[in-house]
Amino acid sequence: MSLADFPITQRWPAAHPDRLQLYSLATPNGIKVSAALEELGLPYEAHKISFDTNDQMTPEFLSLNPNNKIPAILDPDGPGGKPLALFESGAILLYLAEKTGKLIPDDPAGRYHCIQWLMWQMGGLGPMFGQLGHFHYFVADKVKDPYPRERYTVEAKRMLAVLEQRLDGRPYILGDDYSIADIAVWPWIRTLGGFYGAGEITGLDKLANVQRWFADCSERPASQRAISIPS
């Protein structure tokens, strides 16, 4: 089996079929995988999945991810040397880390702690920030009931407090080493205070540990490249 056997390559042909294929957009979830790929130095080819033209709803994209969300990947050199198709940003981060043996601790306890914080982002911080962004930024002029915005503001503040406490005395979420846990959380903090404009209502600017950690993550060359991938 080769990449040509996957329908998605008919719409987005692989110029370099020997490289990992990334189907994405520079949203928080998309940036996660781009940042990991840049940190790891894996050869890859990025394809833009445009929401403006509903690329995520095309039969070709749905053949790779039936959940019609970015990012998704095709790795021509998957387990056993066979191509692997994968969606969900958390699963992709875990796969890339384990494939390379980087950005995740080697010891079992450390590995599970890393997965723990990755799941925390996937199941809590990301969805809650996304809902806050929806009601605070996207439909603020359409939804007059203050409850949804207040509800997700409170939850976002709670999760930021968890992160602030976790980073007390630690350079990164796991401790001394940068990991996929940091990569998963960082783009969402960036979007909360930037694109969503919700930094003030969540008290983000007052969280010293989060701000210090966020600045460090943002200054990494891989992070700076990732925010513009795909171009």
Query: In the chain, where are the structural domains located?
Result: 3-100, 108-226
What does the DSSP 8-state code read for residue 65?
A: -
What's the pLDDT score for residue 24?
Answer: 98
Whole-number Å distance between alpha carbons of 228 and 222: 11
Which residue in the block uniquely carries the two structure tokens 């080819």? 45
Q: At what angle do helices 28-40 and 180-193 cross, to 10 degrees?
A: 140
Omega cis (within 30) before 230: yes
The model's pTM is 0.96
229 sits in the region (left: phi over 0; alpha: psi -120 to 50; else beta) called: beta
Helix or strand (DSSP H, E) at 129: helix 126-133
Summarize the confidence of residues 2-11 as an average pLDDT.
Answer: 92
Whole-number Å distance between alpha carbons of 219 and 102: 20
Amino acid at 14: A
Three-state secondary-structure class, residue 86 = strand
State the Cα angle at 25 between 132 and 31, rounded to 5°: 70
pLDDT single digits (tens) 142-186: 998 999 999 999 999 999 999 999 999 999 999 999 999 999 999
Q: For domain 3-100, give the CATH superfamily.
A: Glutaredoxin (3.40.30.10)
Q: Which of 3, 39, 21 is nearest to 226 (CA)?
A: 39
pLDDT single digits (tens) 21-58: 999 999 999 999 999 999 999 999 999 999 999 999 99
What's the pLDDT score for residue 4?
Answer: 87
Fold for domain 108-226? Glutathione S-transferase Yfyf (Class Pi); Chain A, domain 2 (1.20.1050)
